[in-house]
Chain A
Amino acid sequence: MTTPAETLQRTALYDEHLALGARMVPFGGFEMPVQYAGILKEHDAVRKRAGIFDLSHMAQYELRGAGVAAWADGLTVNAVGTMKPLQARYNIFTNDAGGCRDDVLFYRLEDRWLLVVNAANAPKMWPYLQAAAAGRADVALESKHGSRALIAVQGPRAVEIVAPLCDVDAAAIKYYFCREGRVDGAPATIARTGYTGEDGFELFVEGADAPRLWRTLLARGAEFGLEPAGLGARDVLRLEAGMPLYGFELTEEISPIAGGQAWAVKLGKGEFPGRAALAAQLERDDYDRIAGIVLEGRVPARGGYPVFFGGERAGEVRSASLAPAAGNKNVATVLVRKEAAAVGALLDVEIRGTKHPARVVPLPFYKRA
């Protein structure tokens, strides 16, 4: 899975990460910080105060033209055409079998749309989108991948750190909405979005403006307990918050419905790839699906470990972690048979040859107060 070092890209904030002592790892074709002070310490900062993340590896595409909404509605499960100006919405591009090409965010801006896709999927998504838009005069795509930066500030104190630096009333931006303005003088799309289960902002800026903004935010955030947080903490935070990660809860084989994202599937909105397959899946209700489990003991589960129900193999672990915000228990998502996915079902996870009891619980594992 690792990319040869010479082909890895660096975000505009690479030098900032090194200066902060980050441990860098290859992720989605970029050298990214997996941790600074430590995953659990960073997690704690985000849950109780605030954390700052570099998410510039994610691909930002700008979409322009009168046909964007209708075009995007024909490729995805959730409604694009009903989005209000300055609204953000989670969505999933599907394949013809109903599996997931990628899970994404659409932002409807004043004169264009912003589409954010997973870095690891960008190499397949960019050609796919270009082909899908080919021959359409009313849809124009422009990739800003690698040139535009994304800085997220997440946590209960995020608004106090970010809002005073904005030339628009950022505190008044509602959850899953955005504004265009300036942050510390830099032109930015200021979005009340995130992937941690906390309040917070995602700031889309030019790469050239990113290092100064990063340093300003860190300096201003110090009194609020802001700390740099890496991809390791982000993975724990999103798992606790019940948010899927492409490649684990959603794949080309795991549909939005099987992956627990049926809420985002609008079968009535018109045709899109895999629509019939998803309708049939819902109708039959017999598919393997994602469920959340809490393990009883102290032994952590890991992706790929076998899961048993009633003594029989029922599926496998997809994501797992210690969950400090969910009673400091070991939690996991599993992909299992329908009966094994019911809340309250008692499962066993096989860890190095020994079965460890676990119980299916409702997702998310953590919800902010």
Chain B
Amino acid sequence: MAQPDGLLYSKEHEWLKVEGDSATVGITDYAQNSLGDIVYVELPRVGQTIKQFASIGVVESVKAVSDLFTPIGGEVTEINAALEADPALVNRDAFGDGWLYKVKLTDPGESAHLLGPAEYDALVAEAAH
């Protein structure tokens, strides 16, 4: 399955869309599909400073709890409030309305540690076998 262009990806199946000195973070379609029906998302607080690859929340499906690792460091500027009432938004639109949070980047250079669409696609293809 092809991954959307214009995004960066982590090995923990988060995506990152960088716009200037800010970025939007979510989990990938592969991740939401693997988790199944998502029933609860625990996100960092607005104003919280998070470090790249740190565990900063959880995503819970009917069957399991999964840690959420941030693909990038920075200060959290916004969280997706719609997920509180409707966490299944992540299942329905992982790359769009199911985004998780936005950060003001600490160091844009950190994105060099992430994967491009083709590299992430290869990772997912590997995981499927």
Contact = CB atoms under 8 A, between A and B. Distances in A.
Given A298-B84, A352-B58, A39 B40 contact: no
A240 B36 CA distance: 19
B40 A232 contact: no
A300 interface: yes
Contacts of B40: 298-300
Nearest to A299: B40
Nearest to A40: B37
Contacts of A34: 63
Contact of B62 (A232, A298, A299, A352): A232
B62 A236 contact: yes
What secondary structure prevails in chain A residues at the interface with B? mixed
Interface size class of A (residues with CB under 8 A): 10 to 19
A359 interface: no
B24 to A, nearest CB: 23
Contact of B42 (A39, A299, A321, A330): A299
A38 B60 contact: no
A39 B37 contact: yes
Interface in B60-84: 60, 62-63, 65, 84
A232 B63 contact: yes
Contacts of A38: 36-37, 91
A39 B58 contact: no
A302 interface: yes
Interface string A270-302: 000000000000000000000000000011101
8 contacts: A38-B91, A39-B36, A39-B37, A298-B39, A299-B60, A300-B65, A302-B65, A330-B39
Interface of A: 34-35, 38-41, 232, 236, 298-300, 302, 321-322, 330, 352
Given A41-B37, A298-B87, A299-B42, 18 more contacts: A34-B63, A38-B37, A38-B91, A39-B36, A39-B37, A39-B62, A39-B63, A40-B37, A298-B39, A299-B40, A300-B39, A300-B60, A302-B65, A321-B62, A322-B39, A322-B62, A330-B39, A352-B58
